[in-house]
Structure 1
C-alpha cells in the first residue's frame, strides 16, 4: 500500500523516528542491507512500506515501547480503508486534512471570517456550502457528513486538545439566519465546557492584530514536527518546513495574549447568541 494518506503519515513518522535517533539514511541502510535511495523511497511511501519492513526499520533504530507499538499499529492498518476513502469523490486535500487531524495531539484554529469546521453545526455547514456554490444537494450532504465525522476527534476516548482563536467578527455574521446562528453560538459555548476544548475571542477593542493576516490551522503530533494547513475556497495546502511553520506558532502565542480569556470569551459568544436570537 503506497502513496495513500495513511502510508504517507506512517512514512513521516518513521522518518521522524530516524531523525530522533540521530541516524542517517545511509547508516540505517547499512544495517538493513538497503541502499540509501531505497531508504529514501521507504521514508516517502514510494516503495516497500508494509508491516514487515516497518518492524525491520524500527529494529534498526532500536525503537521500543509505546512508540514502537503505535507505529506498528499504523503499519497493520495500512491496507484498511478509512472512513473518508469510502464513497469516492472526496478531494485529496480533504482526505489528507482528515488524516492529519486524526493523528494530531493538539490543533489550533485561527479564524477571522468564519467558524472553523471542527466546531460547525450541520445547519451552519449547509448554509456555508450553499453560499460557496456547492451543488447538488447530495454533494452538500456528503460534505456535511464528512465534517461531522471529522469532529469525532474532539469527543473520542483520547480526544485531541483543540483551541480556537476567533476574531469577534466571526460572531457577527448571521450565517443561515439569526436563529441558526444563535444555535451555532450556543453550540460553541456547549463544546467549550469540555476539558480539551478552549475558545478565545479577539475583541474589536483589540484593534489590529496578527490574526487579520489570515486564518490557519496548526496541527501538532507526538513525534512528527508540526504542520500548518491553509485553505481558500475548495483548495488547501500544508506547510511543514520549520521556517514556514515558525511564524504561525509565534502568531498563536501573540493572539493568546491579545484575546479575551476563555470565560470572558464565552460570555461574549452568549451575548451575540441572544442578539441573533432576537433578530432572527
Structure 2
C-alpha cells in the first residue's frame, strides 16, 4: 500500500486525512506494525486510483490477515515490526558475522544465546527462543521463503550452550541447507578481510501484488536494543551489492556442507 501511495503521488498526511487516522497510525499500517483494516484499504485503493481488481485483491488480503502471532510479550516490542515485515517477504538475504543465522537456529542454541545477551528470566528466554524457531516455518510449506545466508566460519567454532547443543545445531544447519529454497554459505577464515566485515544485515524483497507497482526492498540492521530499516533505493542497492560480494568470498554451498560435516566428525562425535 505504501508503494501504491507513492506511485499515485499521494502524501502520507493526505492519505491519513482521507481515512480519518493519524499519520502515525497510517505509518504503522504501512510498516506492517498493525494489520490493515479492510475498510481503510478499500478507501485508499480508490484514492490511489487502483483498478477494481487490484483494490479488491488487497481488501481480500486484509480480511485474511489476523494480528500477528509475534505480537506477544515473548517478542520484544522493538523486534515485532521486523517479524511482521519478514512474514510478508518473498526473499531474504542475511549476512551474520559471528553467529548462526536466526532462521537456522535450534531452540536450545537460541535459548543459550538469549540467556547470554539479555537479563530475561528462564520463562521469557524460552518464549523468545520459541518465537525464533516459529519464524522458521517460513522456510517450508506452501510458497516458502527463498532464503540465502552467509555467515563467518567463527559461528561454527563458537560453542554456545555446550557441546551437545552445538552438535545438534550443526546437524540442524545441515538439514536446513538441504532445503531447495535455502542457500547457506560460510566465509572461511582463509578468506581474510571481506566487504561485509563491518556488521550484520538482512535484505528483504517483497512480492509485487499490484500490477505496475514495485513493492520495493528493505534492509534491516539490528543493534543491542533496537533495529533500523533502510528503504531508499540507493541504500538497498548498496546492500544488494554488498551481499553479492560476501557471497563471492564464501565457500560454495557444497563446500560449506563439507566444512560443517568435518567439524561434526572431528569435534562433536
| Pairing of 1:129-148 with structure 2 (within 5 A) | 129-148=114-133
State which drifts further: 213-222 or 242-251.
242-251
2:251 to 243, 260, 279: 260
How many angstroms does 1:269 deviate by?
A: 1.4
In 2 relative to 1, CA 202–143 (structure 1 residues): closer, same or farther, beyond 3 Å? same
**With structure 2 as the length reference, what TM-score do the two structures score?**
0.84
Inter-partner Cα distance in structure 1 for 2:137 and 2:194: 31
2:90 to 105, 108, 111: 105
How many angstroms does 1:152 deviate by?
A: 1.1
Pairs aligned (count)? 253
Inter-partner Cα distance in structure 2 for 1:37 and 1:133: 38
1:38 to 3, 8, 17: 17
Deviations 1:135-191 (A, max 9, x none): 311111111111111111111311110011011111111111222212111111111
Quote the residue 2:49 is aligned against. Answer: 61
Inter-partner Cα distance in structure 1 for 2:266 and 2:55: 52
Quote the residue 1:218 is aligned against. Answer: 203
Quote the residue 1:10 is aligned against. Answer: none
| Pairing of 1:191-210 with structure 2 (within 5 A) | 191-210=176-195
2:152 to 121, 143, 167: 167
Structure 1 spans left out of the alignment, 5+ residues: 1-13
Quote the residue 2:226 is aligned against. Answer: 235
Inter-partner Cα distance in structure 2 for 1:93 and 1:36: 26
State which drifts further: 179-188 or 113-122.
179-188
Provide the secondary structure at the position in 2 that maps to 1:162.
strand
In 2 relative to 1, CA 46–100 (structure 1 residues): closer, same or farther, beyond 3 Å? closer
State which drifts further: 266-275 or 51-60.
51-60
How many angstroms does 1:277 deviate by?
A: 0.4
State the superposition RMSD in angstroms: 2.6
In 2 relative to 1, CA 177–61 (structure 1 residues): closer, same or farther, beyond 3 Å? same
How many angstroms does 1:236 deviate by?
A: 1.9
2:263 to 272, 277, 280: 272
Provide the secondary structure at the position in 2 that maps to 1:205.
helix
Quote the residue 1:180 is aligned against. Answer: 165
Structure 2 spans left out of the alignment, 5+ residues: 31-35, 209-214
Provide the secondary structure at the position in 1 that maps to 2:197.
helix
Inter-partner Cα distance in structure 1 for 2:29 and 2:255: 49
**With structure 1 as the length reference, what TM-score do the two structures score?**
0.81
8 Å contact 1:93–1:237 — kept in the other structure?
no
Indicate the structure with greater helix content. 1
8 Å contact 1:178–1:277 — kept in the other structure?
yes
